[in-house]
């Protein structure tokens, strides 16, 4: 359990990566490393079947800790930049359904953290953006890459070049978030989005996520070969046996995740 980031688990199979660094969940180096540790734990634990990333009722994460970064020069940041990116990538690589529950602000690193999730549920008064350009830098934890893949290069350039914030309505319209709900309902809505996967075929869900995410980085032929490999591998799982038996026997499948 970290000081500012905790992995909270319950009986439902849905874990919460909870950020709690008052006042704005600024993502300093300690928080980044605690995020990495929480993501690795969520990955390793069989009792975790889905994950919610949540910053609390008031704010998701308002960005990096600028005070910590202000005195860093090229040598210091060149040594740190890869670790910064890989901490967020650890969240993206959790082989389970992951949803960001966004309240308040998701700016800079906070937006990049949300982009590392499979879905984003936002409060109707939430604000999102990549304002790094206003500090004379660019996003360094996946923003230029994941944002462009999600909303397209033109819209990504608009947001990153200008550094402007978008409200929840615009974020939904351009595909930056997937659902917009009243602020009081954000966590509940995020939970509802992933709860249907908690008793699902965990190995197939893992394979589906790997196929989609991995396929985005390669050409079509390579992606199809990757898909075929993952598809065939599922025929070694208990869940494949149960799922097909349940279909033949016209009953509901009871998946074990094995």
Segment 133-146 mean pLDDT: 95
Residue 1, pLDDT > 80, answer no
CA–CA distance, 148 with 128 (Å, rounded to integer): 15
81 versus 132: which is more confidently predicted?
132
Nearest Cα residue to 176 out of 184, 185, 161, 165: 165
Q: Which domains does the chain have, with CATH numbers?
A: 5-195 (3.90.226.10), 202-248 (1.10.12.10)
Segment 197-220 mean pLDDT: 94
What's residue 67's pLDDT? 86
Nearest Cα residue to 59 out of 7, 98, 14, 113: 113
Which residues on neighbouring strands pair with residue 128, listed in sequence order? 106, 166
Segment 110-122 mean pLDDT: 98
Residue 63, pLDDT > 90, answer no
Among the options 3, 132, 170, 199, which is catalytic? 132
Residue 112 annotated among the catalytic residues of the structure: yes
Segment 21-38 mean pLDDT: 95
Which residues on neighbouring strands pair with residue 181, listed in sequence order? 123
Sheet holding 179-181, edge to edge: 5-8, 14-19, 50-54, 98-102, 119-123, 179-181
Residue 168, pLDDT > 80, answer yes
213's CB contacts (< 8 A; 6+ apart) are 92
| Percent residues over pLDDT 90 in the chain | 89
94's CB contacts (< 8 A; 6+ apart) are 39, 42, 43, 51
What's residue 38's pLDDT? 97
Segment 133-140 mean pLDDT: 95
Segment 115-128 mean pLDDT: 98
What's residue 65's pLDDT? 85
Per-residue confidence at 79, pLDDT binned at 50, 70, 90? confident
Mean pLDDT of the chain: 95
CA–CA distance, 81 with 136 (Å, rounded to integer): 16
Segment 236-248 mean pLDDT: 95
Among the options 112, 192, 227, 242, which is catalytic? 112
Per-residue confidence at 64, pLDDT binned at 50, 70, 90? confident
Residue 132 annotated among the catalytic residues of the structure: yes
């Amino acid at each position: 359990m970290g000081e500012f980031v905790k992995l909270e688990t319950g009986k439902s199979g849905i874990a919460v990566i909870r950020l709690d660094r008052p006042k704005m969940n600024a993502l300093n180096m300690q928080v980044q490393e605690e995020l990495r540790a929480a993501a690795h734990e969520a990955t390793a634990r069989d009792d975790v079947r889905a994950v919610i990333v949540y910053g609390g009722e008031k704010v998701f994460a308002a960005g990096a800790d600028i005070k910590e970064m202000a005195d860093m020069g090229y040598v210091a940041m060149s040594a740190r930049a890869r670790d910064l990116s890989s901490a967020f990538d650890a969240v993206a690589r959790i082989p389970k359904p992951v949803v960001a529950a966004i309240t308040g602000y998701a700016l800079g690193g906070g937006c990049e953290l949300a982009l590392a999730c499979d879905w984003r549920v936002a409060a109707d008064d939430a604000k999102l953006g990549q304002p790094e350009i206003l500090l004379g830098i660019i996003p360094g934890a996946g923003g230029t890459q994941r944002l462009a893949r999600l909303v397209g290069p033109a819209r990504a350039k608009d947001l990153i070049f200008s550094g402007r914030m978008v409200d929840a309505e615009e974020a939904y319209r351009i595909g930056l978030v997937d659902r917009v709900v009243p602020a009081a309902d954000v966590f509940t809505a995020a939970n509802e989005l992933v709860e249907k996967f908690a008793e699902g075929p965990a190995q197939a869900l893992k394979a589906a996520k790997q196929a989609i995410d991995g396929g985005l980085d390669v050409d079509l032929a390579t992606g199809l070969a990757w898909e075929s490999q993952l598809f065939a591998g599922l025929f070694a799982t208990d869940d494949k046996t149960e799922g097909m038996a349940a279909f033949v026997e016209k009953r509901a499948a009871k998946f074990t995740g094995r």
